[in-house]
Amino acid sequence: MTIQADKVRPLSASAASAACRTALASGLLRYAPHVQLDKNGYTLEIEENLISGVRPVDFVSDLMQGDGNELGGKFRAAHSSSALAVNTFAPFKADPSALRLPSGDRFMHLSFERKCPHGLRGRRSPNLDLVAEHPGGVVAVESKCLEPLSAHKPEFAPAYFREITDSRRETAWFAEMTRLTLIPSPYRWLDAAQLIKHALGISYTFPDRPTTLLYLFWEPLNPHAHSVFEEHRQEIRQFANAVNGNGGPVFAALSYPELWASWEDAGLTDGLQRHLDGLRSRYAVSILGD
């Protein structure tokens, strides 16, 4: 699906976001022509935003326990990052061992919108889109769709510096948090503050297990169409260099198309191949850009 864009001036990030939003809505309608979308690209029911084989029983109770009120409306958006995560991972709920992720396999348990308390009094616990537990540790997933097309400014409450006095204070994650409060942030499209807070929660929740924070992000089929996608990737690389190597969760990042391709490279059963085909049919869209 190709979306027409201004052929003279580069797309602004907001225009790129609007084009991606339109493309994802078109992808949903192409995948499920019977679905009706409102003017904002939302389905009438959550079930209409699911690909074939994804069952509400595999995720609804998990999402109801989260703090984001995802089922209250956001999940119904064609561009929902929560729905993207559910559509990608829900079929593995019945057989977690079939899932493959960086830094983990032979998974035993999956949960959506998992709260990972950070131990700070009076502050809401981080909610991870997916937490996957395996014999060797934990992989926690933060899912993004169009969020990186909006600018972010890192902010941290004083409680993070006052109340975190354990070993987390010696990690590169804590050092990066400190740096971002003292100098202008080098991150615009990457929500570095959210990732740091997630890492601090993961470390507190799973203090004795190796952990990975996996950042999964959506891109169109042609991310070169606009510079913001490469700028986002550059910030991911910079962030990984800053936070990895001195305790705390390992930070890894992958686009959803890259994750899906890794599954195919590893070999799929017929059922998982149909699932992968559905994901690509639903989310593999292009835009025109610069």
Contact 223, 289 (CB under 8 A): no
Q: Which residue has the higher pLDDT, 186 or 10?
A: 186
Please report which confidence band the pLDDT of residue 8 belongs to, taking 50, 70 and 90 as the band edges: very low
| Identity at 116, one-letter amino acid code | C
Q: What is the mean pLDDT of residues 94-113?
A: 91
Closest C-alpha among 192, 282, 250 to residue 1: 282
Residue spans of alpha helices (H) in the chain? 13-31, 60-65, 81-89, 158-163, 172-182, 192-205, 227-243, 256-266, 270-283
Per-residue pLDDT for 165 more than 50?
A: yes
Q: Which of 40-49, 209-218, 261-270 is predicted with the least confidence, judged by mean pLDDT?
A: 261-270
pLDDT of 86 reads: 97
pLDDT at 290 over 70: no
Q: Which of 144, 136, 96, 126 is nearest to 202 (CA)?
A: 126
Strands 137-144 and 211-217: parallel
pLDDT of residue 4: 39
- Give the separation between CA 256 and CA 33, rounded to whole angstroms: 24
